[in-house]
Structure 1
Amino acid sequence: GAEADKGSLGPDKIGGGAALADGVGGGSALGGGSSASSLALEALVRGVRDDVLALHLDVLNHFQAAQEAQTRAMEEMQSRQEAMASEVASLRRQLSAALQQRDEFRWL
């Protein structure tokens, strides 16, 4: 949804694919030739690099979503634990008052 996209990582947030393609374009990394096979190879390399970048971003986005879900679960568990601790304290006070009443009743 919109919340998931809000914190998503994308090429614009990590430098984009252009920074990763330095040395691939223009034939400089592949011998400087401009033949059809060289251009096809360059296109293939760029495509693979873009696919790896997309996969990396997808993994990071999934990790971020899992981390946020874990944080929410831990906060919920902490809240429940605090509520239970409060209830235990209240029950202890009630028990103490009941035991005191019982002890006073015995001595009457």
Structure 2
Amino acid sequence: MNPARETTQGTTTETRYYISSLKGNTKEFYRRLRGYWNVENKVHYVKDVTQGEDKSRIRTTPLVQIWALARNFALNLYRSHQFKNMAHAKTKCSFGLDLLKQVFRMK
């Protein structure tokens, strides 16, 4: 797999080698691999980098689960408002009380 990546210095190419016991053709293997990275980039990266989940010092149950739920809720709100860039959404929205009232149609 040789994905090309555009950077400010030009185009870079990486070669990755995989060993798998997956039976099937290379297209199926590629599809599964891309599906994995799609989830990784769409969800886990956003939680780790944009929302700082890995830096969180919260270690007490049930606070860990509550904050995870709150982060998921925020991502869903951003996506429901058609944001593609979660960092931009976080900066722009900072979901205040007025927006939450509007989302939940409160008066």
Tell me the TM-score normalized by structure 1: 0.30
Tell me the TM-score normalized by structure 2: 0.30
Give the structure with the larger helix fraction. 1
Which protein has the larger Cα radius of gyration, Structure 1 or Structure 2? 1
Give the structure with the larger strand fraction. 2
